[in-house]
Amino acid sequence: MTEIVLRILSAVLIFPGGVFAIALGLLLKGVERRLVARLQRRIGPPLLQPFYDLAKLMQKETFVPDLADAGLFLLTPMIGVASMSVAMALLPMAGVYTPSAALGDLIILFYLISLPALALMLSGSASGSPFGALGFSREMAMMLAYEGPILLVIVSVALYVGQATGGGVTFDLVTIVRYQINHGPLLLEWRLAPALLAYLAFIPANLGMPPFDIPEAETELAEGPLLEYSGSSLGLLKLGAAIKAVVVTALGITLFWPNGPAGVAGVLVFIAKHMLVVGGLALLKAGVGRMRIDQAVLFYLKWPMLLGGVALVAVRA
């Protein structure tokens, strides 16, 4: 019993959650900023810039606005970091890390991934600022738009693997990864191609990246829910966002392309896959502007929803 608890604790706090996820998330953020700068023909910040930013924020004064609900205002940034560390511990890394069955499956993971967005909404409304409230309503609209398609994607993959392994639907992440190691990645399965596209469309919206950075729109909402935060709680929010980027990409990797060698090489391959996604996100960030909230909501309810539905039907047929 103690052994399992220790294993889970180390998975959540050190590898692959906690320390590892934080380091990887901040590093990827640095790579992304550097790539965007290069795409705009700038020199760009040092690769370790997000680490410096975080260290700086931890030393600054932290304000709580008069109108804010102080307890909730200071609590919500922690929820993001904590939920994402646990989510990271749920995701298997082929040949490197297998999560304990006691931790949970895809459904828990889906719940954990929606937590930071909920926490961000709460931060926005707890801050007592009109910009925070606007950010809150936009985040909620975005969430309603992208949660549907992502659920269809997850169910398609679960159904595909479940049918192939002789059962109904399997939400067990270890089974999904093992199936792909034995039968090749689902990336190459044509019936799941629409699901992959829908997942790729989900990534920027969930991470608040352009063209879907609408809830935090810097130029119109002055960073929305983040506006009233300062010092260490702002640092925690940035940290949560960095780990979330790792978790969302890692879920994509788990669902579609977990294959990799064992040991340290496996971790390197895992990081290389993350770099691919970061490259795509940087291209997007440097290449497009911001959508309006109604355009983004319509986009998600139209295309990724359609793709997810097509994938589900194709898998079932």
Binding footprint of other proteins on the chain (CB under 8 A): 33, 37, 40-46, 49, 51-53, 55-56, 58-63, 218-219, 221-223, 226-231, 234
Strand, helix or coil at 246?
Answer: helix
Please choose, from the candidates 117, 115, 145, 138, the residue with its C-alpha nearest in 3D space to the C-alpha of residue 224: 138
Both tokens assigned to 292: 């309006």
Choice between 53 and 189, CB closer to other proteins = 53
C-alpha distances in angstroms, 292 versus 50, 168, 232? 28, 40, 31
* Closer to other proteins by Cβ: residue 30 or 258: 30
DSSP summary character for residue 274: H
**CA-CA distances (angstroms) from residue 192 to 93, 164, 294?**
21, 13, 28
Q: How far is the CB of 296 from other proteins (least distance, A)?
A: 20
Local structure of 93: helix, strand or coil: strand
The residue (of 172 and 228) whose beta carbon lies closer to other proteins is 228
**Residue number with CB closer to other proteins (227 or 250):** 227
Residue 121 C-beta: closest distance to other proteins, Å:
18
* 62/137 with CB nearer other proteins: 62
CB of 76 to other proteins, least distance (A): 16
Q: Which residues contact 284 (CB under 8 A, 6 or more apart)?
A: 204, 209, 210, 211
Q: How far is the CB of 254 from other proteins (least distance, A)?
A: 33
For residues 42 and 302, which CB has a smaller minimum distance to other proteins in the complex?
Answer: 42
Cα 292–Cα 296–Cα 302 angle in degrees, nearest 5: 145
Closest separation in Å from C-beta 146 to other proteins: 24
**Least distance CB 145 / other proteins (angstroms):** 24
The sign one gets for the Cα dihedral 55, 59, 61, 64 is positive
